[in-house]
Amino acid sequence: MTDQPLELVVRASHEISLLTSDRITEALEELRLTLATAHALWAIDPAEPAPSMKVLADRLFCNAPNLSFLVNQLVERGYVARDVDANDRRSRVVVLTEEGRRVRERVMRVTLEQSPFAGCEPEELSRLAAILQRVLDRTGPRPSTRPARGGSERTG
Amino acid sequence: MTDQPLELVVRASHEISLLTSDRITEALEELRLTLATAHALWAIDPAEPAPSMKVLADRLFCNAPNLSFLVNQLVERGYVARDVDANDRRSRVVVLTEEGRRVRERVMRVTLEQSPFAGCEPEELSRLAAILQRVLDRTGPRPSTRPARGGSERTG
DNA sequence: GCGATTTACTTCGAGACTCGAAGCAAGGAC
DNA sequence: GTCCTTGCTTCGAGTCTCGAAGTAAATCGC
């Protein structure tokens, strides 16, 4: 009865995430990051406009106080800076520093290398990507870690 | 450059896990569980022989002190009990109580319902299951949350 | 048998994460 | 200008996680 595909998929997906987290923890320590701060750093794509605290909190499924804490960690380590948004002076945007960009690249590289998905054939990976993309699209648009390639996003 | 399938897959998979966690948190509170304790409860399949603390810790990617803490939580809530393993009196096996079985069922049901994967067509789900199973198989056998259907496991 | 080592687990203390409540400053309605 | 809302921060409490140290049982070497 444990063999229904949905259960297998949910468990496998979760297991793969945990395994990946477990494998990268050591490398993250060298970068003075934890899983939480590394995830926050990952969520700031230098190719996109700098996200506000609120946007970032939504991306990370966490609340404002928690994000303040995480960003403080990154600021202390010199990986990001806070800027006041000129269009709304209540809002602070989080900007990667030069070193932050480098460290973020390293986090991504290590994570992709260590992921069990790294062992997939390109063809298998493409099928997987297509399915997962569809699944995410169906859940309704998220505050975008992944900015919708053909997208209608009006980021300014 | 963000479009390579591996990155998309790793991010999507992680995102889906987080989204699922976020969605079930409220329901778990009613069961007096957190994500960590719910995960521990999930990892104890009543159809398999009761796992030792060590086996359970391996399944959850956590260490011994942490597992002690989690099992204590579950014991306090009446969902599991510790038994001394007759074959090795150093070892304690974790056994679901009657209520523990019921609560575990509920955790699984809620999680599967709330998972973004729940929206997949059966055919899509099967393809996904096949791929993920292959990915996990390639990473080497884990201490088994998922006991290898055709398996050669000698559980005694 | 008996001591030394290893293994399974627990306790303890510290650090990291997360949240709700409360507070502050800026924007918007009127 | 006043009231309300929004974005963020600070604070305090609770949860999670780990390493270090300790206990008990098993195993090894003899």
Q: What is the pLDDT along chain A (156 residues), one digit of tens a residue?
A: 556 899 999 999 999 999 999 999 999 999 999 999 999 999 999 999 999 999 999 999 999 999 999 999 999 999 999 999 999 999 999 999 999 999 999 999 999 999 999 999 999 999 999 999 999 999 876 654 333 333 333 332
Q: Which residue is nearest to nucleotide C11 (CA to C1')?
A: B65
- Give me the percent of chain B exceeding a pLDDT of 90: 86
Question: Is B105's Cβ below 8 Å from some Cβ in A?
Answer: no
Below-50 pLDDT ranges, chain B = 144-156
Residue B91, judged by CB atoms within 10 A of its CB (0-12, 13-18, 19+), counts as middle
> HSE (CB half, 13 Å, CA atoms) of A89?
0
Question: Is B16's Cβ below 8 Å from some Cβ in A?
Answer: yes
Nearest to B103 by CA among B40, B22, B23, B21: B40
Contact A7 B108 (CB under 8 A): yes
pLDDT given for residue B140 in this prediction: 73
pLDDT given for residue A1 in this prediction: 53
DSSP one-letter code for B32:
T
Which CATH architecture group holds B5-138? Answer: Orthogonal Bundle (1.10)
| Chain B: residue whose CA lies nearest to A14 | B17
DSSP one-letter code for A82:
E
pLDDT given for residue A151 in this prediction: 32
Per-domain residue ranges of chain A: 5-138
Can you give the length of chain A in residues? Answer: 156
pLDDT given for residue A148 in this prediction: 30
Contact B135 A116 (CB under 8 A): yes
Closest in B45, B60, B120 to A135, CB measured: B120
Residues of chain B neighbouring A8 (CB-CB closer than 8 A) = 129, 132-133, 146
3-state secondary structure at position A156: coil
Residues 58-117 of A with CB under 7 A from strand D: 64-65, 67-69, 71-72, 82, 85, 88, 90-93
Q: Are B34 and B24 in contact (CB under 8 A)?
A: no
- Alpha-carbon distance A4 to B44, whole Å? 18
DSSP for A54-76 reads: HHHHHHTT--HHHHHHHHHHHHH
Decide: CB of B149 under 7 A of nucleic strand D. no
pLDDT given for residue A155 in this prediction: 34
pLDDT given for residue B58 in this prediction: 96
CB burial string A1-39: b at 16+ within 10 A, e below: eeeebbbbbbbbbbbbbbbbbebbeebbeebebeeebbb
